[in-house]
Chains A and B, each alone.
Chain A
Amino acid sequence: MRFTVHSLLQRLCFAAVAGLIAATAAQAKPDPHGAPDKFVLDAANEALSALKADGQLRSGDLARVNQAVDTYILPYVNFRKTTQLAAGRFWRQATPEQQTALADAFRGTLIRTYSGALTGVTQDTTIKLLPFRGDPNADDVVVRSLITQANGQPVGVDYRLEKDPQQGWRIYDMNVEGIWLIQNYRNQFAQQINQSGIDGLIKALNQRNQ
């Protein structure tokens, strides 16, 4: 069973690339005020084409990845909310400075996860939306997609988006083959905070980011 989990995580690793990157788009300017599924698809396709065009990015050059994340992903993802939910009730105990530091540290961790997996993207990688279920007028929706690779199994990736009155749709959680990102970090965050407080958690995350 251990292996089963790991093979999932492996796909998580790959899908994360296509996934978070999928949350992006420079040229097409996906419309965050439009339909959520179209927003995700536009963003994903633009990001994929950017990624395919940039060999340096695919090889996982960290500086380059950071830059790409800032331009392509950040505007469409609510990292702060992701971090807030992962920290759960501890978030409110943190000072505003701690909150910002924590969000930055967590972002670094996630980027490192994905940069390692960028090599999985090839010219044949495509993303396809699955039929949208649920209420498109809701403020909190899930968009489901399937990412296909040249050799290997397609990976199901779901995005959870929240509608912000000003900024429109923004992604804050992601599901790869049944595993939600935030849920998978909640226990680890709580554990670390119980051990060494919020500063300890920030430190631990940053240590891994070195």
Chain B
Amino acid sequence: MNMPTTARFASALAVCALTAGCAAPGNPDPRDPWEGFNRGVYKFNDTVDRALFKPVAQAYTYVTPQPVRSCVHNVFSNVGDLWAAANSFLQGRGHDFVNTLGRFLFNTTMGVGGCFDVASANGARKIPNDFGTTLGVWGFGQGPYLVLPFFGASSVRDGVGLIGDWQGGIVTYTSPGAVENIRWRNSLWGLDLVDTRASLLDTTDMVDRVALDPYSFVRDAYLQRRAAMVRGTATGDDSLPDYSDDADDAAAPAPGPAPAQPAAPAPKP
């Protein structure tokens, strides 16, 4: 993030703080106490994405043949498996740890340096993992929802987790940050970014199409997904959402602004 970007971000926040853009909405969610601020950052991210990242990703998709894109994607994903395995280890999920490590070894050798995801083709599913999840497994709560500039949906805990991921990636030589040569490092980062964004083109289009409010759509999906990752594969019936409506307090709020109420059950541990 260079200076001008930071400055622009700061001014965008300032503008947002001074205008209705940051006004707290009428339907507060207990998991999102900073919604006004978060919406401001979300808007900023969205603007930057539409102006810069999305067009670049579209151009990349247009000029690069599918096999090349898939290879690039798999190589990044394969290298990332090492850090994911480390996290499975830290969480005491031995089964996941061995599986992910096996995936890495298999893909690196038989998959020609990770270019082909032969492990998935043979039924060894990728197990996504990161340090934010590790913190969750260790007992840290999610904390308030937080939208980070450029990174997007996160939370206080997962924001801290990102710092861990950053350091972990360098220590285990699995992120471009571990590369010494600056030119190479920046190129790899750029490619990583473009690859990630390109693989999401369909998704973001879908969100635009189906979400009534993309902000809360992404937020609710994020929080649900993170809770599920912390729970791990050992989900039981206790993790099912409880839809019984809390409306025995049937003070019917007419069309006007309704009183604060949790519209969705908070994710259960």
**Known contacts A2-B45, A179-B221, A179-B228; A13/B202 CB under 8 A:** yes
Whether the pair A183, B212 counts as a contact (CB closer than 8 A) is no
CB neighbours (8 Å) of A100 from chain B are none
Known: A153-B120, A177-B228. A194 touches B258 (CB 8 A): yes
Please report the C-alpha to C-alpha distance between residue A112 and residue B212 in the assembled complex, in whole angstroms: 13
Judging by beta carbons under 8 Å apart, are A154 and B209 in contact?
Answer: no
Residue B245, interface by CB 8 Å: yes
Of residues 191 through 229 on chain B, the ones whose CB sits less than 8 Å from some CB of chain A are 196-197, 199-200, 202-207, 209-213, 216-222, 224-225, 227-229
Contact check, B246 vs A1: say whether CB atoms are below 8 A apart: no
**In this complex, what residue of A is CB-closest to B263?**
A190
Q: Which of B128, B206, B246 contacts A9 (CB 8 A)?
A: B206
The answer to whether B222 touches A5, judged by C-beta atoms less than 8 angstroms apart, is yes
Q: Is the CB of A89 within 8 A of B225?
A: no
B residues in contact with A166, CB < 8 Å: none
A88 touches B203 (CB 8 A): no
- A208/B207 in contact, CB under 8 A: no
Chain B residues positioned under 8 Å from A204 (CB to CB): 212
| Contact in complex: A133, B236 (CB < 8 Å) | yes
Chain A positions 172 through 196: 1 when the CB is less than 8 Å from some CB of chain B, otherwise 0: 0100011110111111111111111
Beta-carbon contact of A191 and B222 below 8 Å: no
Q: B240 near A: Cβ within 8 Å?
A: yes
Alpha-carbon distance between A88 and B211 when the two chains are bound, in angstroms: 18
CB contacts (< 8 Å) of B144 on chain A: these are: none
Contacts of B219 in A (CB 8 A): 187
User: Which residues from B are CB-within-8-Å of A112?
Assistant: 209-210
Interface string of B234-269 (1 = CB under 8 A from A): 001100110101110010110101100101110000
Q: How far is the CB of B119 from chain A (nearest CB, A)?
A: 10
* A142 engages B237 (CB within 8 Å): yes
- Asked if A187 contacts B207 (CB within 8 A), the reply is no
Contact of A66 with B by CB under 8 A: no
Bound together, the chains give a CA A183 to CA B252 distance in angstroms of 22
Asked whether, in the complex, the Cβ of B222 is within 8 Å of the Cβ of A1, the reply is yes
A194 CB contact (under 8 Å) in B204, B247, B257 = B257
What is the CA–CA distance of A190 and B196 in the complex, to the nearest angstrom? 32
Counting chain A residues whose Cβ lies within 8 A of the other chain, the interface size class is 35 or more
Are the CB atoms of B252 and A5 closer together than 8 Å?
no
Does A192 contact B212, Cβ atoms closer than 8 Å?
A: yes
The reply to whether the CB of A168 lies closer than 8 angstroms to some CB of chain B is: no
Q: In the complex, A153→B221 CA distance in Å?
A: 19
User: Using Cβ atoms and an 8 Å threshold, which residues of chain A touch B216?
Assistant: 187-188, 191
A177: min CB distance to chain B, Å: 7
Chain B positions 130-152 with a Cβ under 8 Å from a chain A Cβ: 132, 148, 150-152
Q: Is the beta-carbon distance between B247 and A89 smaller than 8 angstroms?
A: yes
Q: Which residues of B contact A117 (CB under 8 A)?
A: 202, 206
Interchain nearest-CB distance for A120 vs B (Å): 9
Query: Which residues of the partner chain A approach B209 to less than 8 Å between Cβ atoms?
Result: 112-113, 116, 208
By the criterion CB–CB under 8 Å, are B241 and A183 in contact? yes
Residue A160 at the chain B interface, CB threshold 8 Å: yes
Instruction: Specify which chain B residues have a CB less than 8 angstroms from the CB of A91 in the assembled complex.
Output: 245
User: Are A2's CB and B206's CB within 8 A?
Assistant: no
Task: Using A6-B204, A10-B202 as known contacts, say yes or no to A178 and B26 having CB atoms under 8 A apart.
Answer: no
A1-B152 CB under 8 A given contacts A89-B247, A109-B210, A191-B25:
yes
Q: Contacts A9-B218, A194-B258 given; 19 further ones with Cβ under 8 A?
A: A1-B153, A1-B162, A5-B221, A7-B199, A7-B203, A8-B221, A8-B225, A12-B221, A85-B243, A117-B202, A178-B225, A179-B225, A185-B212, A189-B263, A190-B261, A191-B27, A192-B213, A201-B212, A208-B212
Residues of A in contact with B (beta carbons under 8 Å apart)? 1-10, 12-13, 85, 88-89, 91-93, 109, 112-113, 116-117, 133-134, 142, 146, 151-154, 160, 173, 177-180, 182-197, 201, 204-205, 208
Chain A to chain B contacts (Cβ below 8 Å), 7 pairs: A5-B222, A89-B247, A91-B245, A189-B263, A194-B253, A204-B212, A205-B212
